[in-house]
Structures are given as C-alpha cells and as structure tokens.
Amino acid sequence: MLTGVIGALDIMKRQVASGRFDDLPRFIDAASISADRASALTQRLLTLSHRQPLAAQPIEVEPLLAALEALIRRSIGDGISLHGDYQHGTVRVLADARQLQNAVLNLAVNARDAMPGGGQIRLHTCLVDLQQENRAALPDLQAGQYLLIALSDTGSGMSSETLERVFDPFFTTKSVGRGSGLGLSMVHGFARQSGGQVTIHSEPAVGTTVRLYLPVVDGPGCEARQPADQAPGQARILLVESDSSVCLLVGEVAAERGHGLINAAEPLAALELLRREAFDLLIADVSLPGISGVQLAQAAHGLRPGLSVLLVAAAADIGQLAAAPALKSIAKPFSRRELGETLDELLPGPS
Ligand SMILES: Nc1ncnc2c1ncn2[C@@H]1O[C@H](COP(=O)(O)OP(=O)(O)O)[C@@H](O)[C@H]1O
Ligand SMILES: [Mg+2]
C-alpha cells in the first residue's frame, strides 16, 4: 500500500519537474486510495491489539445500519439477498460509529464468502435484557440492557475446529490475497473494548449467525455532548510536532476555525513560550526529541495549571499514552474531520 503512495508521488514529482500537469489528478487519486487503505488496515491492527483509542459516542444504530445496507449490497453482489429487520427502537449504544460500521461490514463480507452460490443474509437487531439468570452464555458481560446486532447467513457454516480459532488474529481458511484473518478478531476487539461481546453459532452446510452485543446508553444528557454550532474560536494553540504533514493539517484545521497557531520547533522552545505567554491548548507529539510528550505536558501543567493538552501519537507510540490516561490523545493517521471534532471539543469557543 505504501508502494502505491510512494510510487504515485514519485511519478508526480517527475511530471511536475517536466511541466506536465494533466495527469496529476489520476496519481493524486491513486495515492489517496492507497493511503486510505493503509490507514484502515492500521486501524484494524490496532483495534485487535486493543490499543486503538476508540472515539466512543452515543450513536443511534438504525440510521447507521440503514446507511450501511447500500454498502453491503454493493459488496455482496446480486446472488445474495439482504434483509434488514431492526427492532430495537431508538435506544443508543456507546461505541465508535466507524468501527461499528466496519464490524458489521466485515461480518457481511464473511457471509458473502461463505455463500459462493448465492443465499440470504439477515441483519437483525433487538434489545436484550441481561439479568443474572440468563447470563450463562455471556458470563463476562455485566447485567443490563444490550443492543443485539445479529447477522445470519445461509452459507457453508464452519467445522468445530474452525470455530475454535475464528477470533485468532490472522486465522483464515481463505487463500492468500482473499483473506487477512483479521475480520473476526477486529470484530471481537471492538466488541470487548466497547463493553460488549460477540458470539458465533454455526452449523456446517446450514449457515452461521454472529451476534454482537453492545451496551445501551440510557437516558438523556448525552445530547449536550453533540457538537453544536459554535462561534469561531479564536483560541491560541501551541503546537510541538516535527512531522510536517501533521503541522500542515493542524494549521489548516485551526485556521478554518479562526484559531491562532504557533509552532514551536522543539520542547524547550515550547516551554519557554508557555512561560511568557498564555495559550488555550498545547498540541504535542508523544515522542519528541529528548523529552516525551507526556513529560512535556506535565512540565506545561507546572507552568500553566489547567492548560488543555492534546497528544498526537503514532501507532508505535500509543503505549506511552498509558502513562497519562487523563490526557486527551489522537492517533496518527487522523483525518481532517477527526482533528476538527477534537479541537471543537477541547476549545468550545466563547459561549
Ligand atoms: N459467515 C461465515 N461462514 C463460514 N465461515 C466463516 C464465516 N465467517 C468467518 N468464517 C471463517 O472464519 C475465518 C476467519 O474470518 P475472518 O477473521 O473474517 O478472516 P478472513 O475473512 O480474512 O478469512 C474465515 O477464514 C472463515 O473460515
Ligand atoms: Mg473476513
């Protein structure tokens, strides 16, 4: 996937050097698609290693599934029918919406692969009230209300040997290139991190049902957390980051919101600036030369108690965040939208 990005950049460099611009959009698209795929794969790997910071929010599941149906239809083809049956009302679950969509899509793709000669997929939801007496099948879930999302197929089913290993990362019965063996381990990682569980019932030659249980958030009060229309912020942000693409992105997203941004070349310069001037937010890479982002945040708090901090962590550095669980963080690679939402959360603006 990186070859796709690097190759396209290389070609574009040569074309620009020789003054040819007509073909650039094609290579820009190719590079973007490759980069998106690499980003999605990284997310999946992180989820299953249980380190992915999930952006959990109260979400309404029915519109999400309804939107997903179109995508599922496209990936399963004509020979397979899809029937959605949603009976959970308007309750919401606390989960990362994109990960939830990914999980259901993964299940649908598995169902498709199990039905090469066609068949049916049923996507069904309902509310389940787990109490002491009916928790036998789900012993590690706490009592309470869960939303059950069940995806059934009429496919090949699985042998008991396969069934025992399906959640293992990289376990696949598919040929190289067709299966990564990460689908179900990702679904499992997502369910567990969201406080839920996943179970599979499968019969060879009859079909498979995967059940995903997610805890229901009850009650009002969550609306307050939805991003509202805000007045432009005009906050002051101090950025300490050596990755120029991150600087560029933060600069753009901050400018869109009317925030001022000062880029400090290195941690000591940042502390010097903090000593002299007031800032509303410090954004720092987790791994900085000489001092970790977590240490920098602590030093900054010594100078400016109550200063908001956002740590930027590359995949390899996410472990360092464990040292400071209270600090807000965002994982690279992030999208413009994710960054924007995070800034809006940290800098709510004058109100
Ligand atoms: N709906 C299903 N029907 C039959 N077998 C399944 C189904 N879902 C998963 N499997 C089995 O579990 C294995 C692991 O699935 P998964 O983790 O999604 O990886 P992959 O799809 O890349 O092989 C599959 O290779 C397949 O053998
Ligand atoms: Mg799969």
Whether ligand 1 lies within 6 angstroms of the CB of 154 is answered as: no
Q: Which ligand is nearest to the CA of 154?
A: 1
107, 166, 167, 171: which to mutate for ligand 1, most atoms within 8 A of CB? 166
Using a 6 Å cutoff on CB, does residue 162 contact ligand 1?
A: yes
- Asked if residue 110 has its Cβ within 6 Å of ligand 1, the reply is yes
Please state whether the peptide bond connecting residue 333 to the residue before it is cis, i.e. omega within 30 degrees of 0.
yes
More confident residue, 48 or 275: 275
Paired with 239 in beta bridges are 263, 283
Q: Work out whether strand 92-95 and strand 144-153 pair parallel, antiparallel, or are unpaired.
A: unpaired
Write b or e for each residue in 261-278: b if 16 or more Cβ atoms lie within 10 A of its Cβ, otherwise e.
Answer: beebeebbebbebbeeee
Beta bridge partners of 198: 212
Dihedrals phi, psi of 272, to nearest 5 degrees: -60, -45
The CB of 153 under 6 Å from ligand 1? The reply is yes
Taking only the tens place, the pLDDT of each residue in 3-49 is: 889 889 999 999 999 999 998 999 999 899 888 888 877 877 776 66
Q: What is the pLDDT of residues 217-271, one digit of tens each?
A: 864 333 333 333 333 457 899 999 877 778 878 888 888 888 888 888 788 888 8
Which residues, at least 6 apart from 312, have a Cβ–Cβ distance to it below 8 Å? 241, 246, 283, 284, 285, 286, 293, 329, 330, 332
Average pLDDT over residues 99-104: 91
Taking the centre of ligand 2 as the mean of its atom positions, its distance from the CA of residue 255, in whole angstroms, is: 41
Q: How far is the CA of 73 from the centre of ligand 1 (A)?
A: 19
Q: What is the number of the ligand 1 atom nearest to the C-alpha of 173? A: 25
